[in-house]
Amino acid sequence: MALDRISLSRFRNHRDTRLDGSARFNLLVGENGAGKTNVLEALSLFAPGRGLRRAALADIPGQDGDGSFAISAELGGGVRLGTGVRPERPGRRIVQVNGAEAPAVRLGEWLSAGWLTPAMDRLFAEGAGARRRFLDRLVLAIEPAHARHAARLEGALRERGRLLAEPAEPDPQWLEAVDLQVAEAGAAVAQARARLVDRLGSALDTLPEAPFARPALAYHPGGPVEQHALLAALTEGRRRDRAAQRTLTGPHRDELAVTMAGKDQPAAECSTGEQKAMLIAITLAHAGLLDGARPSLLLLDEVAAHLDPLRRAALFERLREGRAQVWLTGTELTPFEAIAQEAAVWRVSEGTVERI
Ligand SMILES: Nc1ncnc2c1ncn2[C@@H]1O[C@H](COP(=O)(O)OP(=O)(O)OP(=O)(O)O)[C@@H](O)[C@H]1O
Ligand SMILES: [Mg+2]
C-alpha cells in the first residue's frame, strides 16, 4: 500500500486536512473549487519534482498564512515522508524522511508517481517544450537521477548562451569546458529519454486498439545522443550558434512525436476525445513500468467524468490490474459507482474533507 495518514497544513485552501484509512482506490468528490486538485498536487509532491502543477513554491502556502506549508504522509512499513517550507525560509523546500532532512531527489527511492490532469489536455497542441517536460517527468519517475542531469544541462546551456551572446569572441577554453558539460549532461538526458520512449512504446504495442486509442511514440532527438558526437556537433556549430545567438543542436531541441496508431494520424490532429484516450493509454502504460520497484501513486484528475461508460469500465479494469494506489477526483460520485464499494471516499468542500 502506498500513502496513508496524510496531512496537509496551510496547503493552498487546505488549512488542516487529514486523510486517514486510504485504500487502493481513493475518491475525492466535491464541487468546483473545493480543493480536490489541491489534494492531488500535495500527493504529487511526495515524489521528486515540482508536482503536478509545476507550481512555484511561493504559490502553495495558504493565502492568509505566514508563507509556510507542511504536508506529510505515511508509507507502508512505517516510513514517514514530509515536505514543506518554513516561514523563515520561504524559497527553500524541505524534505524529510522519518523526521530527518533529505534531498528532494531521495523521495524517488521511496515512491514514484504518475498523473493525468485536465491541464495536460493541451499537450499535443502546445510547443515541443511541453512534451519534453512531460517526457522528463515520465523518466524522472523511473530514474530519479534524471533530475540532476536535466538541471546540469539547463545550467550549461544557459552558460553557453551567455558566452555566445558576448560581443567579443568567447574564450575558446571556457567554451570548450561548457560544451563538454552540455555534451555530458545532454547525452545522459537524451539517452534516458530514448530508453523511456522505447520501453513505453513496447508496453503500448501490447495494448489493443480499443477502447483507448493506441498511441505510437517516436523520439526525435534534437542532436546526437552520444556524448562524443554531441560534443563534436557543438564544437562544429559554434560559429553558426553564435550567429543565431542560441545553441541549435542538443536535447533541448528534442521532440516527442505521438501519432494515433490505428489511423496513423498525428495526435495534434486527433479529436479531443482521441487525444484524451491516448493520454490515458500513455499514463496507464507508464504506471505499468513503475509497478513493482517501489510503491507508486496514480493521480487521475477529472478523468472518469469525460469517459463514456464503456471506456470508464475499461479504465477501472486496467487500474485494478495495476499495483499503483489510485486517487481519482470528480464533481459527482455517479461515474465511480463501479468502484465506490471498494474505494475510500472523501467529500471535499471549501478546503476540508469528510470521509463518506
Ligand atoms: N495558495 C492558496 N491559498 C489559498 N487558496 C488557494 C491557493 N491556491 C489555490 N487556492 C484555491 O484553492 C481552491 C481549490 O482549488 P482546486 O483546484 O483544488 O479545486 P478543485 O476542487 O479541483 O476544483 P475543480 O472541480 O474546479 O477542478 C481554488 O478556489 C483556489 O483559488
Ligand atoms: Mg480540480
pLDDT for 1: 62
Give the CATH number, domain containing residue 159.
1.20.1050.90
The residue whose CA has the least distance to atom 30 of ligand 1 is 33
Q: How far is CA 246 from CA 171, 250, 263, in A?
A: 17, 11, 37
Is residue 170 over pLDDT 80?
yes
Mean pLDDT across the stretch 16-38? Answer: 97
Q: Same domain, yes or no, for 68 and 36?
A: yes
Which pLDDT score is estimated for 342?
A: 94
| Structure confidence at residue 84 as a pLDDT band (50, 70, 90) | very high
Q: Tell me, what's the pLDDT at 75?
A: 94
Residue 344 resides in a domain: yes
Q: Which atom of ligand 1 is least distant from the CA of 35?
A: 18
Quick one: 136 and 152 in the same domain? yes
Could you tell me the distance, in angstroms and rounded to a whole number, from the CA of residue 123 to the centre of ligand 2? 17
Per-residue H/E/C for 100-137: EECCHHHHHHCCEEEEECHHHHHCCCCCHHHHHHHHHH
Q: Cβ(10) to ligand 1 under 6 A? A: no
Integer-rounded Cα radius of gyration of the chain:
22
CA of 201 from ligand 2 middle (Å) equals 30
**Considering the chain, what percentage of its residues have pLDDT values greater than 70?**
100
Position 117 in a domain: no
- Higher-pLDDT residue of 351 and 105 is 351
pTM: 0.94
Listed residues 293, 312, 333: the one ending a domain: 293
Return all residues near 191 (Cβ < 8 A) that are at least 6 apart.
225
The percent of residues above 90 in pLDDT, for the chain, comes to: 85
- Residue 211, pLDDT score: 84
Q: Is 42 in the pocket of ligand 1 (CB under 6 A)?
A: no
In a domain, 116, yes or no: no
Q: Is residue 118 part of a domain?
A: no
In this predicted structure, what is the pLDDT of residue 338? 93
Q: Is the CB of 63 under 6 A from ligand 1?
A: yes
Residue 138 shares a structural domain with residue 279: yes
User: How many domains would you assign to the chain?
Assistant: 2
Range of the domain at 287: 125-293
Residue 119 has pLDDT above 80, yes or no: yes
Residue ending a domain, among 293, 312, 329, is: 293
d(CA 333, CA 193): 38
Q: How many CA atoms lie within 13 A of 334 on its CB side?
A: 7
pLDDT at 351 over 90: yes
Of 270, 293, 316, which closes a domain? 293
- For residue 330, give the C-alpha cell: 470528480
Is 72 among the domain residues? yes
Tell whether 140 and 268 lie within a shared domain. yes
| pLDDT the model gives residue 105 | 86
Q: Is 120 within the bounds of a domain?
A: no
Average pLDDT for 247-259? 97
pLDDT value at 78 more than 90: no
Instruction: Report whether pLDDT(301) > 90.
Output: yes
The verdict on whether omega for the bond into residue 211 sits within 30 degrees of 0, i.e. cis, is yes
Half-sphere exposure of 210 (CA within 13 A, CB side): 2
Protein residue closest via CA to atom 12 of ligand 1 = 13
Is the minimum distance from the CB of 14 to ligand 1 under 6 angstroms?
no
pLDDT at 136: 96
Q: Are residues 131 and 37 in the same domain?
A: no
Nearest CA to ligand 1 atom 7: 12
